[in-house]
Structure 1
Amino acid sequence: MIAPQATETKHWRFHTDLEKIGWLTIHSPEGSVNVLSREAIMELETLVARIEDLAASGELVGVVLLSDKESGFIAGADISEFDAMSDFSVLPEALKRTHALFARIENLKVPFVAGIHGFCLGGGLELALACHYRIAVNDDKTRIGFPEVNLGIFPGFGGTGRSIRQAGPVDAMGIMLTGKMLRAGAARGLNLVDKLVRHRDMLRWEGRRAVLSKRKSSGAPWSKRIMALGPLRGYVASKMREQAGKKARQEHYPAPYALIDLFEQHGDDWQAMIRGEVEAFVPLMGSPTATNLRRVFFLSEGLKKQGLKGAKFARVHVIGAGVMGGDIAAWCAYRGMSVTLQDLDMARIQPALDRAKKLFKKRYKKKHEVDAAMLRLVADPQGLGVPRADVIIEAVVEKLDVKQAIFAGVEDKLKPDAILATNTSSIELERIAEALKDPARLIGLHFFNPVAQLPLVEVIRSRFNSDEAIARGASFAQAIGKSPVVVKSAPGFLVNRVLMPYMLGAVERVERGESKELLDAAAVAFGMPMGPIELMDTVGLDVGKSVASELGHAVPEDSQFARLIAAGKLGRKTGEGFYKWEKGKAVKGPAPAHADLAGLGRELVKPLVDTTEVVVGEGVVASPELADIGVILGTGFAPFLGGPLKARKDGRA
């Protein structure tokens, strides 16, 4: 029963019940997730003042904070406000105001309990940490963490100090520095959550019990807190910088290093850590890195708006059990699809099943989950899965006649609405579709290696395809957790088209005697995830030559490149290419000294940027923005630069 003290604002509902328990519910009016906008925070200030008055008068014994969104608790601050908030005249006071509000919640004399389901991220976790006690649903949907580092910042609503207070300095800093999202059980193990429940409908009951029992979370034990004391803190901070340096350079991604500096200054006093947030946070918010990472975030989110509403896919049939085909099949099974994998015989399919099991063991925590995924992936040498499949993906060798023969053989067996797709990396769809009675059936779904790591799928559109066929292809990519970028059928499409001049340009420099180690180091100094020579070895020299030929780039017969291929030294997959490979890593010698590594990197990357401009001009992608996000997702091009075209516009490439 709702008592008279009921209040509803745009973002919150609050009422007290007959037991004098206050029920505070967040319900952001727009979108599928709750966010802490400036308006929501201002409304919460008013509600907290009301809660303080009710508590002081004895009309309130405690508060339970819940969300009524299916997606979860609170996904963080409202990122759409970040550009405006980066103004130095606005941000410091806004941060201090939120700090003061969360401190008021923390200082309430009555229990304030957070009930968490689904997403509890960023500012949402910071609000939860300001509560006295936290209950979370222990299911696969719950995700708890601080993803701010992925946007070029760190927690700024008091989360730095409060997470250290709860989890201890090493664990808390690890969460903030990596942006890792925790499951409920892991968050409980780190003391970020106090109690787990099995179902969302238990949050209200357990919240009530926590209020009536006046439960309050305790901080991290002494054994963890000691790592922030005295000389130990400097040692821990130096180790953190060393680890951060392996992942990101300070000049590219300053946020992790600024957070470590803050920890080194104040890590032994969680309240001082919170006070220090404002000064350290403000310069990051308006930095080029944070601005570009926000751009990348919104471009990525925009990709999710493609596709058809209500499109569902349950069965996938993959033809070709090589590295790409086998890994596509494994990924689809991991994402919950029933998958049949076809090749000439079991001898060719078995290695793909073995690799799939390794993926499942790495991704799943429990044996029964691995076993269930293996049951979803079925060897199918005879192609019996074709008539039942919602999606058929061909992933065989890059030979036109082979692909045409495969599609001609399956066309009459398809369900009427099944997607028929090729994973070709460079052959124009129109040429493959010539063998079909209905060439409009064939679309491209171009995955990237390694499939489990790279998020991009190029959805290739031929001149035969309808909007609906392409939208269904984009829907399928989203259904398996990938980011679809629609590109026109043209040699090399987007990613391979722009990568090949970059890689071959570096190979030509090696042919002329330049150090491959130096070239790779220069590309990394510029901001690429790996250098062009290491990338060519990773892709496979044979694949590189095949794509180069499709794009009209000749590989001279007397070149080192051609000799390596002739000798079967194809790169990582054979243990040797331009580099020798041991345990999956390139064995590199020392790189010669160079006065301007990043400048050399810009020089190396110039063909990639030039070609991206050409591709946009030819209409292969619909906009410069799509080209930027596609190249970032498909090549790892420096996200902190915002994409190749944004980097050129800013004079940084």
Structure 2
Amino acid sequence: MAHSDMPPTRHWEFSVDIEQIGWLTIDVKDSSVNVLSREVIAELETVMTHIEALAKGGEIVGVVLQSGKPGFVAGADITEFDTMSDPAVLPEALARTHKVFQRIEDIAVPFVVGIGGFCVGGGLELALACHYRIAVDDDATKIGFPEVNLGIFPGFGGTGRSIRQAGPIDAMQLMLTGKILRAREAKAFNLVDKLVRHADQLRWEGRKAVLDKKASEPAPFTKRAMAFGPVRGRIAEKMREETGKKVRKDHYPAPYALIDLFEKYGDDPRAMMTHEADGFVPLMASPTAQNLRRVFFLSESLKKLGIKGKDKPKFTRVHVVGAGVMGGDIAAWCAYRGMLVTLQDMDMERINPALERAKKLFKKRLKTKQAVDAAMARLEPDVEGRGIARCDVLIEAVVEKLEVKQEIFTKAEPIMKPGAIMATNTSSIELERIAETLQNPGRLIGLHFFNPVAQLPLVEVIRSQLNDEQAIRLGASFVLAIGKSPVVVKSAPGFLVNRALMPYMLEAIDRVEKGESPEQLDAAAVAFGMPMGPIELMDMVGLDVGAFVARELGQKVAQDSQFAKLIAAGKLGRKTGQGFYKWEDGKAQKQKPPAHGNLPGLGRDLVQPLVDTAEVIVAEGVVESADMADIGMILGTGFAPFLGGPLKARQDGRA
């Protein structure tokens, strides 16, 4: 039969069964996930030539596309993006992918795809070119367009095809936000046609869909009508307005370029696909996209800090000492991530507020009452500290007093399991001082979380002079197990993030003391690219905490300053409802800032102390490299990702 004539391919397998259904499997070699590299796309062209010949000769009744890995396709191959961003190379590569996806869409026999696991970016664009989509309805299935996080938008026809399937409002929201959907949500958006409960049902349902000649219906006319006539211009304007609340065009041009494309061609999906490259090509080579790619690779490199393979540790039980905001939220996060957590403090009165906050987190993050109840059951109050003997990880998060911390670890050491992690969440005290009273001082590491724990991805893994490599890698493994990003930092006052932040915040406060407007300074920092300004940040952290860390770092807080007076009056920021700002419903109440001729320039001046200090931290070897300082500051403070971090920004002359 002719179907044995297909040239050999590395990444695709194709066979025809007795019912004349073609089974096409993507299984990218030497990669843990399927990605659409140029080689993979070139091979797909070969495969499609073969499939088209079989369809024309009546030798197949349809095709089912499936994955040979647990996930479907995790998008284009980002490792190729730097070479691909060349405007001399990119248009041809995009046109080639568009063409082969169009051949899938145009083939005369049913072309069905089975989706499980990741189906994002270019993977979703490939799926949308197929005639009918079946997805596994479980937590592992993730469907969406995260391209905006890399400073671009979908470039393989996904703009027009998603608008055709989901309608302009839903499709644009998906592309503009980078939101990832579960299978059920994707079906509600009409991006998926059928759900199955288990991955092993995909093959059977794929077969049925081919034999029944199933084809996906586009979005109903009522939805698509939102892209017609003058309505489209008004919707585009509204989208610009909403996007402007989150990001500035000069920082993140991609969403604005996508809205421009939609405004011109949104009523014609084919025209939108044809003109994708007009906006996509310049974005790919932009400094924003280059820096966001760098941030992506640096974030991925942090995953290698943990212990892999057969020695990969399992973390089941966590014991947290200290049920204050920090300890309580660390405990809640670990329970949310599926671990059994015991939370210790002096009495239930201190533990109860932490349990209430945990319940709020679970209700916000988990979809069902059953899941919330299960998470609450994993979080157990433990006044007596019975959990210490059973835990895999002990985290101390009590007040910043050396003697209190020493006492906790001295009592815990004899009863802890031999391989368990012993960690402190101290923000400023050197580990060597805390470990002085221990039999095995090399066992104590630092795991420094940031507030709010649920939102900030960074955990500084603090290495003392007494730790060996294994203790640090074990700590990094735990951080990864709870879905956070570890950056290894030497034990030195303030570590990385607090040490770099403090001079920046204190300098801004000094400007307020001299009469400058706090609102104007905060607006300037945001105009530069920070997620919030330094005065609002100090209020968020707590003025008392800020002053304590400042003293630990040897910085003065003058007694007669407004800063000291606010602390003396108990006006500590957000937690007391008043600091430099008045706080209502968790929001700072700000006056309109006075006008300023160059807010981004003022913002750049404001962040100078942060950039200077980050440079010193690297020179002192507190972190391994400028790369680690950059990713640590981005993940720990939200420092302008589009600039690539403080030291990359300085290198580029932008800070």
- Normalised by the length of structure 2, the TM-score is 0.99
Task: Give the CA deviation at 1:97.
Answer: 1.1
What are the superposed Cα offsets for residues 245-290 of structure 1, whole Å, 9 maximum, x if unpaired? 0110000000000000000000000001101101110000000000
Q: What amino acid is the match of 1:271? A: R
1:451 maps to 2:432: no
Q: 8 Å contact 2:6–2:47 — kept in the other structure?
A: no
> Cα distance 1:165–1:487, how it changes in 2: closer, same or farther (>3 A)?
same
What are the superposed Cα offsets for residues 375-402 of structure 1, whole Å, 9 maximum, x if unpaired? 0000001101000000000001111111
Equivalence for 1:554: 556
Q: What amino acid is the match of 1:21? A: I
Equivalence for 1:168: 167
Distance in 2 (CA, whole Å) between partners of 1:3 and 1:415 is 61
Q: 8 Å contact 1:459–1:485 — kept in the other structure?
A: yes
Task: Give the CA deviation at 1:5.
Answer: 5.9
Residue in structure 2 matching 1:594, options 596, 604, 622: 596
SS in 2 for 1:14: strand
1:421 maps to 2:423: yes
1:140 maps to 2:119: no
Equivalence for 2:99: 100
What are the superposed Cα offsets for residues 65-99 of structure 1, whole Å, 9 maximum, x if unpaired? 000112x0000000000000000111011111111
Q: 8 Å contact 1:7–1:14 — kept in the other structure?
A: no
Q: 8 Å contact 2:134–2:193 — kept in the other structure?
A: yes
- Following superposition of structure 1 onto structure 2, how do residues 95-494 of structure 1 map, counting pairs within 5 Å? 95-309=94-308, 310-494=312-496
Q: 8 Å contact 2:111–2:132 — kept in the other structure?
A: yes
Distance in 1 (CA, whole Å) between partners of 2:36 and 2:649 is 31
Equivalence for 2:11: 11
Equivalence for 2:51: 51
- Normalised by the length of structure 1, the TM-score is 0.99
Q: 8 Å contact 1:267–1:273 — kept in the other structure?
A: yes
Equivalence for 1:518: 520
Q: What amino acid is the match of 1:632? A: I
Distance in 1 (CA, whole Å) between partners of 2:258 and 2:402 is 53
> Cα distance 1:649–1:277, how it changes in 2: closer, same or farther (>3 A)?
same
Task: Give the CA deviation at 1:7.
Answer: 6.1
- What is the aligned-residue RMSD (CA, Å)? 1.1
1:508 maps to 2:510: yes
Equivalence for 2:23: 23
Distance in 2 (CA, whole Å) between partners of 1:352 and 1:319 is 12
Residue in structure 2 matching 1:621, options 619, 623, 646: 623
Equivalence for 2:60: 60
Q: What amino acid is the match of 1:444? A: G
Distance in 1 (CA, whole Å) between partners of 2:220 and 2:260 is 24
Distance in 2 (CA, whole Å) between partners of 1:38 and 1:86 is 13
Task: Give the CA deviation at 1:4.
Answer: 4.1
Distance in 2 (CA, whole Å) between partners of 1:568 and 1:342 is 27
Distance in 1 (CA, whole Å) between partners of 2:624 and 2:186 is 42
Q: 8 Å contact 2:147–2:153 — kept in the other structure?
A: yes
Equivalence for 2:645: 643
Unaligned runs of 5+ in 1: none
Distance in 2 (CA, whole Å) between partners of 1:399 and 1:559 is 25
Q: What amino acid is the match of 1:33? A: V
Distance in 1 (CA, whole Å) between partners of 2:501 and 2:459 is 16
Q: 8 Å contact 1:5–1:15 — kept in the other structure?
A: no
What are the superposed Cα offsets for residues 195-247 of structure 1, whole Å, 9 maximum, x if unpaired? 00000000000000000000000000112111111111011111100110011
Deviates more, 1:32-41 or 1:303-312: 303-312
Q: What amino acid is the match of 2:280? A: F
Distance in 1 (CA, whole Å) between partners of 2:506 and 2:14 is 63
Q: 8 Å contact 2:128–2:162 — kept in the other structure?
A: yes
Q: 8 Å contact 1:7–1:13 — kept in the other structure?
A: no
> Cα distance 1:7–1:345, how it changes in 2: closer, same or farther (>3 A)?
farther
SS in 1 for 2:426: coil
Task: Give the CA deviation at 1:59.
Answer: 0.2
Q: 8 Å contact 2:3–2:50 — kept in the other structure?
A: no
Q: What amino acid is the match of 1:298? A: F
Distance in 1 (CA, whole Å) between partners of 2:4 and 2:518 is 74
Residue in structure 1 matching 2:612, options 610, 617, 627: 610
Task: Give the CA deviation at 1:574.
Answer: 1.1
SS in 2 for 1:203: helix
SS in 1 for 2:437: coil
SS in 2 for 1:513: coil
Task: Give the CA deviation at 1:119.
Answer: 0.1
Distance in 2 (CA, whole Å) between partners of 1:261 and 1:608 is 36
SS in 2 for 1:302: helix
Distance in 1 (CA, whole Å) between partners of 2:585 and 2:285 is 41
Aligned length: 652
Task: Give the CA deviation at 1:6.
Answer: 6.7
SS in 2 for 1:459: strand
Query: How high is the sequence identity, in percent, across the aligned residues?
Result: 73
Q: 8 Å contact 2:12–2:26 — kept in the other structure?
A: yes
Q: 8 Å contact 1:321–1:349 — kept in the other structure?
A: yes
Task: Give the CA deviation at 1:31.
Answer: 2.3
Equivalence for 2:35: 35
Q: 8 Å contact 1:360–1:373 — kept in the other structure?
A: yes
Q: 8 Å contact 1:461–1:487 — kept in the other structure?
A: yes
Q: 8 Å contact 1:6–1:15 — kept in the other structure?
A: no
Task: Give the CA deviation at 1:426.
Answer: 0.9
After TM superposition, what 4+ stretches of structure 1 lie above 2 angstroms from structure 2? 2-8
Q: What amino acid is the match of 2:31? A: G
Deviates more, 1:432-441 or 1:167-176: 432-441
SS in 2 for 1:445: strand
